[in-house]
Structures are given as structure tokens and as C-alpha cells.
Amino acid sequence: MNFIRFYFHKRVWYSSSSSLPWISPLQILKDRAMKADPPTQTLNTTSVEARRKSKYISHEATINLIKNEKEPQRALELFNMVSEQKGFNHNNATYATILNKLAQSKKFQAVDAVLRQMTYETCKFHECIFLNLMKHFSKCSLHERVLEMFYAIQPIVREKPSLKAISTCLNLLIDSNQVDLAREFLMYTNEHLKLKPNSCIFNILVKHHCKNGNFESAFEVVKEMKMSKTSYPNLITYSTLMDGLCGSGRFKEAMDLFEEMVSKDQILPDALTYNVLIDGFCRGGKVDRARKIMEFMKNNGCSPNVFNYTTIMNGLCKEGRLEEAKEFFDEMKTFGLKSDAVGYTTLINFLCRAGRTDEAMELLKEMKERGCKADVVVFNVLLGGLCREGRLEEALRMVENLPYEGVYLDKASYRIVLNFLCQKGELEKATKLLVLMLGRGFIPHYATSNELLVRLCKAGMADDAAMALLRLVETGFTPAPDSWAQLTEFICRERKLLFAFELLDKLVMKEFATSTICT
């Protein structure tokens, strides 16, 4: 089957009426909107007047304007408008920019229209445009469109797709588990493009088989690679196989393969390859074997990197060997390696879980001194550690003050502390934190909100419960039936019916608004 002919027939790339001017679908929608909405006409008139007064817009300026435009329709209008300038013709860069903008916004109908226009252009296009579109279509699970973009390269770029294009397309299909499409694709490249697979393409197939646990097929691919003159197995091939074998608990086979790679094929491993084995053994609960691999690594002239140390530290921490992990951490620093946030986070996390939060706080201080920025994950770990040790006041102060120190907290940061405050019966502090959360735009978990309301009522704090519910309702929260029943019962028992009526009005209006929108 001729894929190009089928594709172009399907998408109507070529037409006997090619002399007709191109009008984008978004432009048609815009024209209709202008007739129905007078303000749009005013905006359009303003843009026309601005255009008349403006100077010549260059290709570079066009690209910047399109990138900075948030609305894809406005970006397409701008793309069309600049082409009306005398002496201006769109080039590869401007087409790439508008297609990326439209694809990001999932305006695929407009993407097709722009691609169709490209078939009439005389400028030179590059296949990178289509590689980018392949990735966008793959993210949206439009796998057949990934293939279509590959088939469109030769007609529009007027050159055969490169091996990079083939590798990109195949990798996207394999990662999406589109085996049938991948097989169809490889048959097409072999029959129509006469392109033989290189090591990169073979490695993608090896990765696919290892991912599915089909090691026999993976080794068959390797055997075929060895028979080929242009695609002999390389470091990536062996690393992929060893990673798959370790992940399946086949450690002896992974080590045998490592020895074969070094002795038979004379391929020297790098720090990344060693880390495949180190990580595999650590995940398999064999940290001491991983440490021996690192020793072998050092003795054979390959210096360990931060990732190697962090991997073993993580394995030791999982086995509760915190002191040994700290020794590894100190050893790493003596070798002049600067630990990253991952290494610090690993130790801080396990120290907090072991009830050694003060030591974790010291590591946080060291992070700052060494210029290693702590992210929200580190602070959430510390907040959890403080709360588990009953140091709720410190946790609450941290949540209150960190944003003023330039630290961005997420909703989990507040929820961690709020949950512990509710569990420990610190209801006044929990209510205070709830107000702080809502004021900063964070909404507590649904179950936590209901638990807090019920606990407030049971503690005789009906006023606080009512005010908390009023604030929560404004964020779209609807209390569970049991929570609502208990809340109204306690409010009525306190003879504060006004609160009950206000709450009921709020909830009824919210439900009415929701049902109106749905219908």
C-alpha cells in the first residue's frame, strides 16, 4: 500500500483547485464571532489601525509575537496578517512557531490547515517541525497522527526522513505500546525508504521487549544487531538489558552480561552503566552487593558520581542502616562531590521517619550553607517529621513563615499539619490553619474538612464550626450528610438558628447554581 498516496488522499493535501486562497478554520470562526459580537469588531478595527501605523514586522519579531500571544486564534491571525506585508514570505521558523502554538493548544484542525498551506510554499522546510508535531500528537494519544506526521516529511520537506526521524517516531509508538503501528512503520521504512535500522532503532526494540519482560525477544534483537555491520550492540544496549534483568530479579544473568560486555565485546562501562547495576541490586534488597560493585568501579578507574552515592544511600536507608548511609554521605563530600537535593532529601526523609528530626533540620541548614536549594518535598518531609514527634507548634510556625522566606508551599504542606492538628484535638489551631489555608488559596481535603467540622461541634465550638463551614462553602465545598446533620443539630441546640438558616441558604444557592450550569 502506498502510504503517502493514502495519507494525502485522506487529508486532501493536493487538490485540483489549488489556486484558491487559503483561509484558516480559525479565521472563519473569528469572522462569525465578529458578526455576532460587536466588541470583537472594535478590537479588530483597533488591530487594523495599529497595523497601518506599525513598521515592517520581521521574521524574528513575528516569532516573538506568536510565542507571547496566549490565544491561539489571535496568534494565527497575526501569522496571516504579517504575510500580507510586501516582500514578506513565511519561512521554516515562523511555520514551526505557529504549528507549535496551535499543537500546544490542541487546535489540530488549524494545524492541518497550516500544513496544507505549507505544500504550496517554496521555502525550505526542516523535518524538526514534524518531529515536534509527532510528540504533541503522542501526548494526546493520537498515535495514527504520529505516523501521518512522519509520512508527511518527504512530500513537504522534499527529502527522505533521517534516521533521527525514524528513531523518534518508533520510540513514541513503542513507549505508547502501539506495537502493531510500530510493526507497520518498520515495514514501511524498509520497503519504501530502503533505510536499514541503526543501533538507536534496535535499542528502542530492546527496551520494548525488556519493558514487557520478554528477554528472549530482546536477546534475539541483540543477535540480529551483531550480525549487522552498522549496528553492533553498544553501551546503551547492554545497560537496557541489565536494567531489565535486575528489575526481574535475574541478578546473576545481569552480572554475566556485564562480564560479557567488558571481556568479550571490550565495551568499557561508564558511571551510568554502573548505576544501572547498583540501582538494580539496591532495589532488590542487595545493598552489600551494590557496594561491592562501587568498589569494583573505583578499582577500575571509573570515579563514582553523585547518583551512584545517592542510590546506595537510599538502599541503606530502606534497610534502616542510617549510620552507614551518613558515612557514605560524608565520604561523597570528601571526594569533592557536591550533593544535590535528591541526596539531602533521601537522608532527611529517613531521619524524620526514624524520629531524628533535629538531625534532619541540621541537614536542611547545611543545604542552605552549601547553596543547595530545598524544594517543597523537603519541607513536607520535615513538617511530617515534626508532627509525628508532636511538635505541632513548630510545624505550624514553619507553615506560617516559610512563604515570607520565599519558599513555595503546596496544598500537601498545609494538609499534613491540618490532619495532625485534627487527630490530636488541637481544634483552635486547626481552625486558625484552615483560615490561613483558604486565605492563601489552598483547600483542605474533603474528609479532613468534614472531620474538623464534626470535632468542632463535639467540642462545643458551634460558632467556629459554622464560620468554618461558611468559608468552606465559598470554595465549592459541600459537607457530607452526616457532618451537616451533626452541625445543624449542635447549632440548633445552642439556639443559634440564624447561623443554621444562613448555612442552609448558602448550600441551597450553591446546589441551584450547580444544577443550572449542568442543565
Would the pLDDT of 188 be above 70? yes
Q: Are 384 and 352 in contact (CB under 8 A)?
A: yes
| Three cell numbers written together for 248 | 526481574
Would the pLDDT of 411 be above 60? yes
Binned at pLDDT 50, 70 and 90, residue 502 comes out as low
| Three cell numbers written together for 110 | 488549524
Among 135-139, 410-414, 503-507, top mean pLDDT goes to 135-139
Q: What is the pLDDT of residues 32-52, one digit of tens each?
A: 444 444 443 433 444 444 445
Would the pLDDT of 153 be above 80? yes
Among the listed residues 336, 403, 397, the one whose alpha carbon sits nearest the alpha carbon of residue 376: 403
Among the listed residues 353, 269, 283, the one whose alpha carbon sits nearest the alpha carbon of residue 311: 283
CB atoms within 10 A of CB 18: 11
Q: What is the pLDDT of residues 325-343, one digit of tens each?
A: 999 898 888 888 887 888 8
Apex CA 93: angle with CA 91 and CA 99, to 5°?
A: 100
Would you state the pLDDT for residue 227?
86
Mean pLDDT confidence for 169-198:
87
Mean pLDDT confidence for 443-466:
80
Would you state the pLDDT for residue 204?
92
Q: What is the pLDDT of residues 3-14, one digit of tens each?
A: 433 333 334 333
Would you state the pLDDT for residue 24?
46
Would the pLDDT of 82 be above 90? yes
Apex CA 514: angle with CA 509 and CA 519, to 5°?
A: 125
CA gap 464, 460 in Å, rounded: 9
Confidence (pTM): 0.65
**Which whole-number Å values give the CA distances from 177 to 139, 174, 205, 420, in the listed order?**
13, 5, 11, 43
DSSP letter string, 213-258: T-HHHHHHHHHHHHHSSS----HHHHHHHHHHHHHTT-HHHHHHHH
- Say how many residues make up the chain: 519
Contacts of 287 (CB under 8 A, 6+ apart): 281, 312, 315, 316, 319, 321
Contacts of 84 (CB under 8 A, 6+ apart): none
Radius of gyration of the chain (CA): 31
